[in-house]
Chain A
Amino acid sequence: MMTTTTPTSVDSHRPPLGWFVSDCVAIGKRQIKTFLRSPSTFFFALFQPVLFVLLFSFVFGGAIPIGNGLNYREFLLPGIFAQTVTFAVAAATVGIAEDAQKGIMDRFRTLPVNQASVMVGRSFSEMVERIMVISIMSLTGLVVGWRTHTPWTQVLGGYGIYLLFAYALTWTGLFVGLTVPNVQVAQTAGVAWVFPLTFLSNVFVPTKGMPHFLQVFAEWNPISSVALAGRQQFGNPVVGVGTSWPTQHAALLAVGWSLTLIAVFSTLAVRRFKAKRD
């Protein structure tokens, strides 16, 4: 049989799960370094969140009365958080499409590792960027007068919902990035689905005033659930929600949506990555 050169002493004692974790870490480390050194980071992780918070709170801040003397800015910000977290996912889509267009994906795909680790490692490292986005948004929010009014445990729960949702969207974004033919398409496709989804939601206005079919859509829209859950967790104004099931169970629905998206899109993305053999 093959009397080939011995592979450079591969350490075979570790169990497969151990290898899986260490592969994820190696991929994740690369991702984080790339992220910190890439110029687009400045735009996606710093500029965009600050811009969104400032723009929307000053442009719409005084213009839309939500009644009862409630503070619109405090109503708006948890929605803007959900919207910005969603927009930030475009970075994941563009990033993976860029990698696929370069040769590096090919090298990953010729590695003798469980290929899923390439995607899983990446999904976790993307969260570093999302955490940055959420922190910067919150700080900017505090500057423009947004406050939380609940015990810290509940505030933490609110952030947990945003993070889980961000993770779910990351998988969605990675799948889209693996599906598009090139980076140019990724730049468009990365945000194309985000626009209708964020505007047909309760981010800017209460859903109560919408035409019926839009209202149903907006109430079930995961971004609405996350925004509403955020408002509740932070003790920000909750208005015009009605009595429908999705508005009565916002936090549950937000978590449910996130878990479902994670299950569906992580499976699809990993399968897509492995099966990219045409």
Chain B
Amino acid sequence: MKLTVWTYEGPPHVGAMRVATAMQGVHYVLHAPQGDTYADLLFTMIERRDHRPPVTYTTFQARDLGGDTAELFKTAVRDAYERFKPEAMIVGASCTAELIQDDPGGLARAIALPIPVIPLDLPSYQKKENWGAAETFYQMVRTLAPGDAQPRPAPDATRRPRCNILGPTALGFRHRDDLVEITRLLQRLGVDVAVTAPLGASPADLRRLPQADFNVVLYPEIAGTAAAWLERTHGQPSVRTIPIGVGATRDFIREVAEIAGIDPAPVLAESAGRLPWWSRSVDSNYLTNKRVFIFGDATHAIAAARVAAEELGFEVVGLGAYNREFAREVRAAAAKYGVEALITDDYLEVERVIAELQPELVLGTQMERHIAKRLRISCAVISAPAHVQDFPARYSPQMGFEGANVLFDTWVHPLVMGLEEHLLAMFRDDFEFNDAAGASHLGAGAASASPPAPAAAPDAAAVASVIAWSDEAQAELAKIPFFVRGKARRNTEQFAASRGIALVHLETLYDARSHFAR
């Protein structure tokens, strides 16, 4: 049993829903109680989809348990087929139905529908949403594009190289726009996109997957398993570089060019967007060595760390991911920045680490946004779990050169707004200004006079140490601009601890300052 306040990932059947909802002509019959229908609102409200997800829930009740829940399931399958006439169906159980062991796959097979029916075995008590999406996509690809599928015509001089783009789903963090950006980039390179899946693909499209020369895996969390199988079974190599940031996009171009046997030079010679110059422009000087903490799904977190370090000149002070399946990759990346990887799906643990590190910027999920808000640290969102704000009306990719422009804006903006808070602090004694006004970017509810700090929520100050501050020293600390205040506090306390000082006086503060100035 695990105590959980907030979860980064839903159960695995929600991953399956993300695949089904992304596709055309697929219907999902899910053996589940009525409350599980909440998952529909993730798609209709958070992503603002204008259709219900193509999911039929059996919504069995307690009184059905003594009777025939299996019959209920079969009826639901027949009705869903009649009503929706899908090209393929996936069937499975949610956590509760898993316990009653009705075997949805076997029951559906017994009905012998004239379409492919793909049973899903998603262990709800072991696995989570991303795994569920990956497994669902893999099972569908395997069933619809089996090893004996029609062989691929050999590449020849008369046709352009052709690839599939794998990974984008419903409810994905900026998948919609990444897809547009990367499709355009591939076209500029002279590569045709045969199939994009799951997003927008039909079962017929999945059957055509083996016809492409190679696969571009945009979201390994979702498409990694299927791509590895396509590689083994159909000999399709995969492009694995994730084109987030300028450097990674260039690497991506090179990798695609190599696999496709084309020349990347013309596209590499084109503009790489505005990030390189924006970052070199002198006003960006203040970004140098900003301490940044990064947390999200492994793919986005690792990519963000590279952009932060190499393209914005930040110092990566923490790097982590909530999906254990990719722990190895995250550890390797963390080692590059000399930090220890934080692999956890425990929100409270992430909060503790952020409070301890006191970064100046948090790049995280919506969860970290809340943590950062409470600790009054600037924050930008880089990864799912997705929130309604992560589906902007405007074009806003994370990938490719335009994506890099977007990253520059969205990561630097909160820091610039932070400077506004610094100005507030400078004018704090002016009658028109006071700390309680708060900074505008934190929203009206974030006035600093009473940040919501429940008893057990670690306060940035309280967590790191047990060292006390005299009123005088505390007051002096408050005069230090906020964006270095955390650092000053940390250094002072570290200094005090190393000298066995339990109470920080004004003197200690300045001693520490001169100590660290050396």
A binds B: no
Chain A residues near B (Cβ < 8 Å):
none
Chain B residues near A (Cβ < 8 Å):
none
